[in-house]
Structures are given as structure tokens and as C-alpha cells.
Chains A and B, each alone.
Chain A
């Protein structure tokens, strides 16, 4: 079996040959980026088609309605009605006839078509042979690194710098431009640490919580000179830019791509970033010098760094950390953020109940959104009034600019005192994470606040047509909870974004549709895994994917974590350092926890790692639940949740810690689990969409 080394020896190449090869790789990179963009579009289409059909994978639904459109099926139909791929009963409208006369349902046809068009048929096979990076990555790395030599930190730094100059990973440009990659706002604070941890809805190891707290303290030490309280928007621009630059002094200049979070602005080094010279050696020098020398620059109130420039910008590993300087966000978020607030309190509650599971009851918690709505950690009032705004797309800076002018006749957030301290918050849906959140300042004691503030999203224009803008108005309760004052959702696909016309829209109460219907509503990428149950009688030595897995007494569950696809980028530069963690419930929490190694700088990581769970009887499996979660590894901070799957029979409940939790597996998650039980000894492989939250959806 070819076991390609991490690098190949390319020391024999002359300088000009190296350059020549790098040029070829650069051209290839461009081609792959176009390809990635195309593939992403295709996947979105599939997701759309899939979403239309409620029944996915699971055959146990009523056979009287079509598995795709849910229309009742005629009993008199003569044609074969069961799709041979998904085994759903399908109405004629949802069947697509193939050239050979057979047919498949609309989703399956789309899925197999996608497998061809995306090249997945090829990659799925290749993964069986190689546990390695693609050639272009391998060669790129090999060209830089003297082989078989331990790296010093400096070298590592340089390597990563160089790599950034010619991005090695097959990251589509589209995703780099995506505001979700905007690291600046994902700065972790204890609040979100807690929430993310609890999201996982399983007992956490102490180590990780320790990590979280350690990271907070260490990073705080590192930035002792940072103004402790975050520059608020009420402060003068010069002040905030000062504070901002003191932040970036411990950051690499190029990394200060801070997009204004809530109107207040951190200084950013746009101009410097753009001067970055392509010479690696020089850049490393700059990394250190410039960050100190940099003089504070007065900035616009709202500043944006075009994310596209990231490709050219340099990156140092340290940058990631210093960017998430704690203390910058904590205060503000704990005070003002209704959602973070609720998550924190949730976490505290769950800690108190000695289980860090977010789901201390059987309540249905769908997502971030529903968590705080259902937690009811905000007050609501009769919605009234309107918001006045305009939206334009600025080609020059490649950003969407939402100008919030004013609100009129808002409801009183604090009805008893006839008081409102309103602020406006935006999300660029479907991204409901903190990364897509923008806020205006809070206006005191008024129901007719005038903001005249611009909220910006760096995003390519082509991506906008799938997005919509959610503008909500909140009352900031100084001592009490925040109050929801109304919202509007603006679809961006059919809106003229070139002329800044002013819109006056009546605020609405929270609509049911604003809450994502399921944890799958948000596309987080996919996880490719194989499951195999090995019966106790079988004592042969199983050899799979080049890894030996010796069988012992008792049945075993083998979980091959092949790869993930289209993960969300968490790190600057549009990548993530991901790993997969697995828990099998209900077994004592610690013993079932498994992890894959971290795959760095890759949104389509190949893990090729097997988790083996021993001593399991086949009947037990029906009652069990396997949770696999994908995380972005953050060395000094808590890891970021990238998505997860929950495999089970989809029926009944399982004990996680002390709680009974509904096994809410859906579609492929159920069918794959059942296939595994149905055919012991053979691999059941599937590509599962990642849930955006491990909260118990419907």
C-alpha cells in the first residue's frame, strides 16, 4: 500500500525550476478555486432539493404518501413506486427516468448526479488508497521545507507565511470571502466557550474546560497592556482607534482584519496589509517589526478589510490567538448580548445540574436561535414601529453595506417605565452565528432613535443571492434582560443593491420561519464515515484501510472517519484545523470518547481514522447513539464547534449522563446506523450532512 511520506525530497530542484513549478501550482490553484466554487453551488442545490422532501433515508414513514413531495400516492398506480436507491415510495412527478428505462427519485438522481459532477466518485475511491494530502499540497510543502529536519518555530512561522502567500489548500476563494470566515468576531470569550461546550450536549472532560480557562488567563496575560474595557462606540473615534491599535500591536498587522462588530471599530491595518511584499524572508521580518512600529492611525468609524486580500496577506500562527484576545468581547457580550447571555446562563444551569449538557430536559432545542428564544431569556413586547435603512453593495470594497438610518415609533422595551434603549442588530442569514452579527450603538431613552450607522459585510457579490438580511431591533435593558422590539428579513436575491434607496419597513414579531426548522437548515458541510459491526464470533484479524484492528471477545463497532467536506473556515486564511470527536452513548462518558488527529489547514480534511468500540452486543446497538462532532482546534483557546452528526435508530431515548435524551437522528443518520446493524461485518458508508448544532432538533 502506498504510504506517501509527508514530504518528498525536492532539494534537487534549481531555483528557477522551483519557481516554474510554483507557477504551475498557482495556475492549478486558480482552476481548483473555480472548481470549488462550482462544487459548492452544486451542493447547495442538492441541499435545497433535499430539504423539500421531508422523508430522508428512513423507510419507516407511511407508504401512502410520496417520500419527496409528500403528496398522497394513488393506489392504482401501475409503475414501480419504490425508489431503488432510497426505498421511499415516490409519486410519478418526483421520478426521473434514466436512459436505461429505470428511474430514481428526484433526490437520489440529484445525489448521484452530484457525485459525478463534483468528482466525488473519484475522491471517494482515492481515499481508499491514500492517507495523504493532494499532490499540489504535498509538492508545495516539499518545495519549502528541507525534508527530514525538525522545524524550529521560526521555520514553522516562515513556512506558514510562505504557504499563505501561495495558498496551498484547496480552499475556494468564495469561502475565504465569506464573512463566516471572519475570525475577528469569533473571538472566544468565556461565555461562548461555555455555550459551545455545552452545545455538544455531553459530559465534557475536565481537560477541556481547563483548557478554556487556561487560555483565558494566558491570553489575558499576554495582552496586559490592552485597555481592559472594550472601546465602546460611544467613545470618540480616536480613542477607539488607539485602543484598537494597542490590540493589534500584539497581532500581526495583516491579521487585524477586524470588521466592525457593533459600530465600534478596531483599527485595522488595511494599508499595511496591502503593501505586503511577496518575499517570504522579508515578510517574516515584517511580522515582528511592523507589529511594534505601527503607529495608531485614525480610522473611519466603520472599517472593513476586504477579505479577499487574505490570500495575499501573510499569516503567522500566533495571529490566530492574539486575535481572539479575551477581555475585548467578554464585557460587552455579557452585558449586551441577549443570546450569549442566555447561553451563559444555560451553561451555568447545566453545570449546576452536574451535567454540562445543554439539554437538561427533553425540550426541543433547534439551534442558537431557538435556544435563546426558547430559553426565553429576553422579554418581548407588542411589536410596533418601523426601521429605516438602505442597502448597497460596494464593488470597490466588495462589501455589503447596510445603512441603518433610524427607527420610528418603537415599542417601549421597558413598558413600566415607558423607556426604550434601542439598538439594531443584523445577521446575514443563513449564518446566524456571532460572525455574521453586526450591531449599531444603543440609543438611550428614545423610541425614535437615529443611528446613521453603516454595518458592513465583506462578501462577494455572487454569494449574496443566497443570503438574506435579518434586521432586528432590541431594547438594551441596563440591569434587566434585553427586550425584542421587532425584526424584518430582507431577501437579497431580488433586491437592487446598486442604488441606495431608503426603505421604510414595518417591524414584525418573531416569525416562526426565522427559527431554522432543523439543525440541518444551515449547511455546515458533510462528514464521510463508514460503520462496521463485527460480531463476537468472528475472530479473524480485520484489516481495513491499512490499519489493523484486532478483534477481541465481544462485538465491536468500528467507525471509520474518512473525511469531512466543505467545513466552515474558522481561522484566518479561510481554513480550519479540524478533528473529529466521537462519543458512544450510553456508556460511561470517558471511556467512549475518541478523537482523530488534527488535520491542519484544510476544509476538506481526510482523517482516515478508525474508532473502535469494544464489547458491544448487536442488540445493544439499537439502544445506542453515536455522536460524532467536528471541531476546529484552537491551541490556546477552546475548540470551535464545526458541526456534528448523531447516529442512532432514531427512536427512543438514551441516557447521557443523568439525562434522558431523545435520539433525534434523521435520514441518513438513521439509515446508516440501521445498515450497520443489518449487515454485520461489512462497512456501511455514508456521507452525512453536518448539523449546525447538536441541540435536539425536531
Chain B
């Protein structure tokens, strides 16, 4: 699995309250399976998956397929592991923020997770997908789709109603995140020849207008 025959290594990380289904979500994504038994994640874990990414050009045409090796970090939602899990935020290129549609508190905590991400991720506005998980349990639903969408809009991130149990929207969510990352990657590299105040020789772009602007737009 870990031979070097791929074009990109993309690292994602799933986060959210304990029991919202992060592990199940990733298990469904990588293996297409579901285990209803709840096994709490000890600290951290990761799963891997190879996919082929086809970039879509501005005209909608799809380019050459690129082999992606995905490393999907799974984190413990439990508070006691917090210092450990947040340390791993910095290594991830994109994030899957999950909450449980049947648990309102997990939805309210999305805000906290977002601020945790702002502090610990590689930049202040990393790519994040919000996932309301367990959408198959419609009779127990506590969070409406509308309020979830509103929150996602507020943060300017995509929202998906997912089910790790039946696989609904699981692939889509990850694919959208991958697409965001690949596009961001292009932008980061593209930027390097656009002379907009940033001066570079051959290095990465590093706008240094001021500390604050750099933070807020994350150089991308």
C-alpha cells in the first residue's frame, strides 16, 4: 500500500465530537463497510486509500487522471485526547468536520472545532467539509438540514448530510474535499508567477504585506 507509485500524497483529518462517527465514516470510505459497534478511537489512527483524481479544466473538460494516495487521519473525539489530536491538525491538508445529526450538542460544538482548526491547522482558513453524519437515523434527527447549511454557509464551507451506515454522500464529501485541495494546490503554485507584490525567485509565494493579511488569506 505504501509503495511510492502515486503522484500525490494527500493528508486529510477527520474531527468532531466523540461518537459522531468519524471512524465509521472513514471505514465506510476506505473499505465500504460499516460496523455499528462503537469502538472509541484511542488518540489517533489513520486509514489509507488510493484514488484517481481527474481535474476539471475551466471549460469542464477533464484532464489526465492522477494517482492520489490518501492518508486519512482519524482522531479521538474525547476531550482527554485533545492535546494529542490537535497536534495532528497541522499535518493535514484538509479536514472533515463531523457532527451527529441526532445529537444537538455535537452540532453546537462545531464552532469550537472550527476555532481549534483555526489555531492548529497549517493555515487559518484550511479547506474543511462539514458533515452531518447519521442521516439514516431520520427518526432521531435533532439538527435540521437548514440550520446545518446555514452554519456551513457562515463559515463558507461545503455541507453534506452523510451516513457512514449506508454510505450516503461519504464518497462525495471526500471527493469534494480532494477537489478543494487540488485546486488550492494549483492556486498556491500558480501564484508563484503572478507578480502581485510578492517577489520570488523560485520559491513559494510568500506575500508579506503585513502579518495580519498573511494570516487571513493564508497565502493562497
A residues apposed to B, CB below 8 Å: 2, 4, 8-10, 12-13, 17, 20-21, 24, 27-28, 30-31, 34-35, 37-38, 41, 57, 84-86, 99-100, 104, 108, 111-112, 115-117, 119-122, 124-126, 128-130, 132, 134-136, 138-139, 528, 530, 532, 543-544, 668, 671-672, 675-676, 678-679, 682-688
Contacts and interface: CB of A to CB of B under 8 A. Distances in A.
A57 B201 contact: yes
A99 B214 contact: no
Given A31-B48, A119-B9, A544-B208, A684 B199 contact: yes
B43 A685 contact: no
Contacts of A684: 199-201
Interface in B168-220: 184-186, 188-190, 192-193, 197-206, 208-209, 211, 214, 218-220
A596 B84 CA distance: 29
B108 interface: no
Contacts of B46: 24, 27-28
Contacts of B204: 115, 120-121, 124-125, 685, 687
Interface in B1-45: 2-4, 6-9, 42-45
Interface of B: 2-4, 6-9, 42-46, 48, 57-58, 63, 71, 80, 83-84, 87-91, 93, 119-120, 122-124, 184-186, 188-190, 192-193, 197-206, 208-209, 211, 214, 218-220
Given A530-B203, A671-B201, 15 more contacts: A27-B46, A28-B46, A31-B71, A38-B9, A86-B202, A100-B57, A116-B189, A117-B8, A135-B88, A544-B208, A668-B201, A668-B202, A672-B201, A682-B208, A683-B199
A685 B203 contact: yes
A124 B93 CA distance: 12
A121 B119 CA distance: 19
12 contacts: A12-B80, A17-B42, A37-B4, A117-B8, A121-B184, A124-B188, A124-B206, A135-B91, A139-B88, A544-B211, A685-B199, A685-B205
B55 to A, nearest CB: 8
Given A8-B84, A126-B90, A129-B123, A683 B208 contact: yes
Contact of A125 (B89, B122, B202): B122
Contacts, number: 167
B42 A685 contact: no
Nearest to B118: A2
A130 B90 CA distance: 8
A144 to B, nearest CB: 14
A119 B91 CA distance: 11
A121 B189 contact: yes
Contacts of B211: 543-544
Contacts of B58: 99-100
A57 B119 contact: no
Given A13-B43, A108-B193, A121 B188 contact: yes
A119 B203 CA distance: 13
A37 B202 CA distance: 23
A57 B203 CA distance: 12
A117 B218 CA distance: 20
Contacts of A124: 188, 203-204, 206
A104 B58 CA distance: 18
Nearest to A122: B93
A672 B185 CA distance: 23
Pairs A-B, 10 closest by C-beta atoms: A38-B4, A686-B201, A124-B204, A126-B122, A672-B201, A121-B188, A686-B203, A85-B193, A685-B203, A683-B208
Contacts of B197: 682
Contacts of B80: 12
